[in-house]
Amino acid sequence: MRKFSQVFLTNESAAIRIAEAACGIAADHLVEIGPGRGALTSHLYALRLCPLTLVEIDRDLAPKLSPRYPEARVINADFLRVDLEKEFPSGRVAFAGNLPYDCATPILDRVLSFPRFAGAVLMFQKEVVDKALAAPGDSAYGYLSVMTAVRSSARRLMDLGPGSFSPQPKVDSSVVIFSPLTEPFLPQGMEAIFVRAVKAAFMHRRKTVLNSLSAAGDTMLHGVPRIAAAAALEKAGIAPTLRAQALSPADFLRLAGALRGRGR
């Protein structure tokens, strides 16, 4: 049984398409997250236009990478624990990888929130991609959809069935290309309250946005009472009877602005 929830890509044509897309990103550094046995790495190494760094958590696999890719830098560590600012103190950084299913979402969050994010080509469980790319009103629309939209422009590159991997997973996978927004969506100083507002609104998906904000007020919004939540919704021009999945990222930004400074 694999140690880190990894399934290894065996589809050669898919690996080439991913590498071509990743190496087409204008960047000063290219990072592969979880190179594993090197199915994607060999193509990234051949096509790279900037220095390549390989971040591999597996102590057995990591030592085998340097002899095969001598011009690449290998970091034997959990990507979620790597100090990206220290490792890449300057320049734009692009990311690529076939992400482990059990930690793909926090990895994506880390990649998209990196200040010098240049772009990424990442593979996930298809269900996660459906959530990340969902639009307001879709049944899959939620926190991940909103945070992906406010941090990047994303499009699906391809879907892959279980036969493209070893061992074969029980689910389909998808590859997504993420590009940085031309202009930041969130004004400076707004991210913390925006994140809390979105999490609070989706904490109870079947409730109205007012009831969800009220129920989550103590934990997510630092004690915002129902009356304050209602006032914030009114100020933001959002009907309190709506559910969170009906709200656009712009709606959430207005709500975050109305909630800012309350509850303390």
Give the tens place of pLDDT for each residue, 170-225.
999 999 999 999 999 999 999 999 999 999 999 988 999 999 998 875 555 655 78
Domain with CATH 3.40.50.150 in the chain: 8-180
191-259 maps to which CATH number? Answer: 1.10.8.100
CATH 1.10.8.100 range(s) for the chain read 191-259
The whole-angstrom separation of Cα 81 and Cα 72 is 20
Assigned fold of 8-180: Rossmann fold (3.40.50)
- In the chain, DSSP assigns E strands to 8-9, 29-33, 52-55, 73-75, 93-98, 117-125, 152-160, 165-166, 173-180
Give the whole-number percent of the chain exceeding pLDDT 90: 86
pLDDT band at 121 (very low <50, low <70, confident <90, very high): very high
Q: What is the pLDDT of residue 264?
A: 43
- How many contiguous H segments (helices) and E segments (strands) does the chain have? 11, 9
Cα separation of 256 and 110, whole Å? 22
pTM for the predicted model, two decimal places:
0.92
Q: At what angle do helices 209-220 and 191-202 cross, to 10 degrees?
A: 120
